[in-house]
């Protein structure tokens, strides 16, 4: 279970241009990704069912989540249902929201074969062509207990996992998109704090002193669909961040489908993906690293201070950027779509033309996720060490 926290600094100021991209009015294709939103809160469940008073906070939140889901449904044709439990209530001080995604493990061979069988666009075909042939997969890694560079474990090296034990981690929703078997009823949980001022209508821009609810929900749902990187687990399990670390490279069984397209100049030269935690540029590439499409964030602790499960900050790349601001309109960009496409989501129109988001100028007001991801992963990795001992 992956846990994220969104925190906000209410004293920061943001100026600049809003994102441009896909709005919430797109038409949903006949065969499409669908969302089943539920809530343990009676009032919110009534709002989901349509029986709450129009204009009530619960009705606004329920409709906001539905609008966010409709954005993703309009883009992809995978015939799957993603079950998300939602809440809209007061949370701890300065906590904007919580999000958790159920995850499952699969062999690289299973994921490779699934991606091969789900080629539906030119990007898919290009991406699969440049994937490491199943079942072998190597990666550039660092900060491990058995790093051959004993004097400085921050130095990257190539780790080639035993093909018979190479495990990848996928969100339930991403696994469903690829036709892989999943267990459990709830695929994700999202809770937003009702203590903040939200703008629930993105069609007339976002008021300067409010947060785009639909945009934020779109971002959180995007993580549940598979936009996350196992590099965050490596980055958070190194001493002194985790006093039990560092750990051997074989214990890091957290490579995700998105990580298969994570490169650096150094990893490309070595013919492998980059799964390191450091400040070197890491980028999204579909041709084995030859060409960069967009840069990734590189890690909270040993990277650029943003979780690796995002695009690089302050470049306005797309909805999966790591920060958000008051008055910012958050929408899905063409680069976002391409990333989701190659991890298993079939585009409704592979030739759709979507304008790239404008660059941002200004100060962003909060890092989208925080400490609980580290806590969950520390526990998981610590247990793995116990079992291996």
Dump pLDDT digits (tens) for 245-271: 999 999 998 999 999 999 999 999 999
Of 217, 253, 277, give the one whose Cα is nearest residue 61: 217
Q: Which tens digit of pLDDT belongs to each residue from 269-294?
A: 999 999 999 999 999 999 999 999 99
Rounded CA gap, 34 and 37, in Å?
A: 10
pLDDT category at 65 given cuts 50, 70, 90 is: very high
Kindly list the domain boundaries of the chain, sorted by start residue: 2-388
Higher per-residue pLDDT: 56 or 253: 56
- Residues 157, 67: Cα–Cα separation, whole Å: 44
- Residue in 269, 242, 279, 247 with CA at minimum distance from that of residue 386: 247
Distance CA 111, CA 364 (A): 36
Tens digit of each residue's pLDDT (9 = 90 or more) over 192-239: 999 999 999 999 999 999 999 999 999 999 999 999 999 999 999 988
pLDDT at 110: 95
CA-nearest of 256, 238, 266 to 140 is 266
Token code pair at residue 387 = 């079992």
CA angle 70, 71, 75 (to 5 degrees): 105
Q: Comparing 124 with 136, which gets the higher pLDDT?
A: 124
Q: Are 342 and 1 in contact (CB under 8 A)?
A: no
pLDDT attached to residue 218: 97
Who's near 376: CB < 8 A, 6+ residues apart? 1, 2, 3
Give the model's confidence band at 379: pLDDT under 50 very low, under 70 low, under 90 confident, else very high.
Answer: very low
- In angstroms, the Cα distances linking 225 to 9, 55, 81, 345, 372 are 27, 29, 11, 9, 19
């Amino acid at each position: 279970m992956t846990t994220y926290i969104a925190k906000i600094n209410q004293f920061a100021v943001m100026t600049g241009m809003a994102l441009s991209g896909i709005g919430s009015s797109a038409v949903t294709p006949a065969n499409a990704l669908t969302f089943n939103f539920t809530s343990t809160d009676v009032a919110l469940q009534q709002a989901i069912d349509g029986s709450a008073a129009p204009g009530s906070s619960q009705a606004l939140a329920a409709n906001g989540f539905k609008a966010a889901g409709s954005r993703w449904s309009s883009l992809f044709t995978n015939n799957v249902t993603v079950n998300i439990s939602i809440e809209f209530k007061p949370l701890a001080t300065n906590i904007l929201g919580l999000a958790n995604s159920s995850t499952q493990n699969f062999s690289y061979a299973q994921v490779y074969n699934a991606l091969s069988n789900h080629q539906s666009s030119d990007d898919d075909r290009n991406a699969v062509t440049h994937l490491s042939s199943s079942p072998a997969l190597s990666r550039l890694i660092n900060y491990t207990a058995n790093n051959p560079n004993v004097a400085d474990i921050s130095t990257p090296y190539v780790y080639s996992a035993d093909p018979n034990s190479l495990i990848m981690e996928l969100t339930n929703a991403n696994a469903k998109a690829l036709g892989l078997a999943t267990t459990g009823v709830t695929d994700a949980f999202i809770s937003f704090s009702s203590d903040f001022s939200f703008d629930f209508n993105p069609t007339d821009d976002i008021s300067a002193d409010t947060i785009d609810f639909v945009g934020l929900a779109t971002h959180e749902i995007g993580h549940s669909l598979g936009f996350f990187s196992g590099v965050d687990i490596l980055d958070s399990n190194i001493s002194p961040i985790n006093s039990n670390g560092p750990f051997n490279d074989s214990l890091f069984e957290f490579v995700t489908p998105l990580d298969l397209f994570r490169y650096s100049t150094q990893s490309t030269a070595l013919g492998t993906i980059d799964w390191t935690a450091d400040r070197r540029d890491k980028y999204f590439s579909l041709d084995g690293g030859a060409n960069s499409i967009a840069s990734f964030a590189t890690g909270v602790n040993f990277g650029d201070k943003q979780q690796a499960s995002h695009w690089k900050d302050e470049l306005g790349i797309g909805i999966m950027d790591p920060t958000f601001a008051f008055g910012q309109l958050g929408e899905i960009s063409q680069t976002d779509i391409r990333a989701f496409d190659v991890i298993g989501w079939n585009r409704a129109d592979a030739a759709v033309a979507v304008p790239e988001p404008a660059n941002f100028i200004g100060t962003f007001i909060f890092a989208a996720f925080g400490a609980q991801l580290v806590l969950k992963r520390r526990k998981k990795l610590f247990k793995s060490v116990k079992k291996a001992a």
